[in-house]
Amino acid sequence: MEMLQFEYMRIGLVMAVLIGLTAPAIGTFVVQRRLALLGDGIGHVALTGIGLGLLTGSSPILGALAVSVLGALAIELLRARSRSGADVALALLFYGGLAGGVVLTGRSGAGTASLQSYLFGSITSVTAADLYVIAGLAAAVLLVVALFGRELFLLSQDEELARAAGLPVRFLSALVAVTAAVTVVIAMRAIGLLLVSALMVVPVAAAQQFARSFRGTMLAAMAAGVLSAVAGLAGSYQYDLPPGPSIVLLALAVFAVAVAAGGPLRRRRTAAARARAAEPEVMKS
Amino acid sequence: MTPPFEMRGGHVRRDGRDVLRGVDLRVAAGDVVAVLGPNGAGKSTLIKALLGLLPLSGGSTAVYGVPPARFRDWGRVGYVPQRLPMGGGVPATVREVVASGRVARRSRWLPALTDRGADRAAVDRALAAVGLAGRDRDTAHLLSGGQQQRVLIARALAGEPDAFVLDEPTAGVDATSQLDLAGTLGGLVAGGRTVVLVAHELGPLAPLITRTVRLAGGRIVADDGEAA
């Protein structure tokens, strides 16, 4: 493939695989907790971190990492504390993050093109050094999912059940939020902060249409995520399109196919389950 | 012996309303307690407060002699909620849901070190006990209401607790499933386990119950086992 002769494309494809694996992995828990817009909120807040990084001449990735982790913890705190006023508080945080980021990026002298690349993604700007940071973060996300998967599964089923099992619910909730924040930072260069959340949610929504199990949903979502990210990036090179929107549109196409194919499948399964339920069963005591 | 649950003067306020108003309840090991009462009497609130899932605004409560916030041995308690939680609609198999009942038995900081063989065996035993052996790969949410209730009971069983707390296990469950449930609970009771359950009416569970606590307006108005 001719595109592999460019270093930025090789870096980009490795990144696409990392994003495709990590975003749906943590996204499965995020969706099950009904926090589908969490990543979106973190993305808004992360822009302030990028602005700070550019303004102080340090790394925008590390700036985004610090601010989005803090933002994620703030969002989690607001969510857990208040039932009624949380969404307004969240909105304040999102708009503050976005507006602050645009102002800070402007002050730093970075042009609109640079801002655009953070908002909607740009693969060409990623250096090999960035890739090492991103690979380290991706490994951390997958490690969290592997080590705490069962605890996070119970937490995302129901917080009350998790508490009744003696799980540290606050710590685990914060862990989900922070891991989501790290994922936002992993994906932001390629996909852009405004679209970053899509890969946490859309592949999971697609996998939900036909998977039977939680684990199966997660694995299928990761496969769909890698497929959309790699194919979207390759397509954006081929047809000279921005990578982020191309990746997201492909993920949505996968979702549409899953919905079309999943409906009949689910109906058949429900019928089969009902048929089995009708068979007499004896309870053992 | 330390009682599994002991509440003294328990008050719970929710949304500006007093839901529990001074409840004293001591559940001894081996008791099979039915908490009865009309809608809004505070039945579910009472058992959630016993487990520390709802904070008390007055009084105190203890699980095996320890306040819930400081209690660590949650593997001894199995909680069966009213309904299978749906969350954001990600499917889960019967085995995944039941296996989540083992979480309290795992090492908290090194979860990967847990004995998977023992986990698997406990889940298999729990599924067999509720008559769902062989259904472990089915998606839990596609099962009937009665079967979902059994999945939740198996979930609690898998943790191998000493005490069970069930929130309306008979609500929305047909007559046959209620009989099945009575059979499962009978097995637990015969094994000397403590059971606290909330019910609207007892139906086929009645012969198992050793003590009936009646709630009304957030207070205990009758308790036939207090002296026992």
pLDDT at B8: 93
Q: Domain ranges in chain A?
A: 2-278
Q: Model confidence over B134-144: pLDDT tens digits?
A: 899 999 988 88
d(C-alpha B226, C-alpha A91), whole Å: 53
Q: Model confidence over B76-128: pLDDT tens digits?
A: 999 999 889 888 889 999 999 999 999 887 765 665 666 778 889 999 999 98
Distances (CA, A) of B198 to A100, B63, B182: 52, 18, 14
For range B202-209, the mean pLDDT: 87
- Contact assessment for residue A221 and residue A176, using Cβ atoms and an 8 Å cutoff: no
For residue B45, which residues of chain A lie inside 8 Å, CB to CB? none
For residue A156, which residues of chain B lie inside 8 Å, CB to CB? 87-88, 90
Which helix (H) or strand (E) element contains residue B49?
Answer: helix B43-50
Task: Report the C-alpha dihedral over residues B16, B22, B28, B30, rounded to 10 degrees.
Answer: -50
10-residue stretch averages of pLDDT, chain A, 285 residues long = 80 93 96 89 92 86 92 89 71 89 86 82 82 94 93 93 92 95 91 91 95 96 96 91 92 95 81 64 42
| Chain A residues whose C-beta sits inside 8 Å of any chain B C-beta | 28, 31-34, 36, 146-148, 150-151, 153-154, 156-158, 160-168, 204, 208, 211-217, 269-270, 273-274, 276-277, 281-285
Q: What is the mean pLDDT of chain B?
A: 88
Domains and CATH numbers, chain B: 30-50+73-208 (3.40.50.300)
Residue A259 distance to chain B (closest CA, Å):
14
Distances (CA, A) of A216 to A15, B50, B111, B151: 24, 36, 21, 19
Q: Model confidence over B38-82: pLDDT tens digits?
A: 888 889 999 999 999 999 999 999 999 999 999 989 999 999 998
Whole-number percent of chain B with pLDDT over 90: 52
- Quickly list DSSP for B122-167: HHHHHHHHTT-TT-TTSBGGGS-HHHHHHHHHHHHHHT--SEEEES
pLDDT at A1: 63
Q: Model confidence over B161-187: pLDDT tens digits?
A: 999 999 988 777 778 878 888 888 888
Helix (H, G, I), strand (E, B) or coil at B194: strand
CB spacing of A150 vs B72 below 8 angstroms: no
Q: Note the residue count of chain A.
A: 285
DSSP lists the bridge partners of residue B21 as B11
Model ipTM value = 0.90
CB spacing of B90 vs A283 below 8 angstroms: no
Provide the CATH topology of domain A2-278. Answer: ABC transporter involved in vitamin B12 uptake, BtuC (1.10.3470)
CB spacing of B111 vs A150 below 8 angstroms: yes
pLDDT at A2: 73
CB spacing of A150 vs B51 below 8 angstroms: no
- Contact assessment for residue A137 and residue B97, using Cβ atoms and an 8 Å cutoff: no
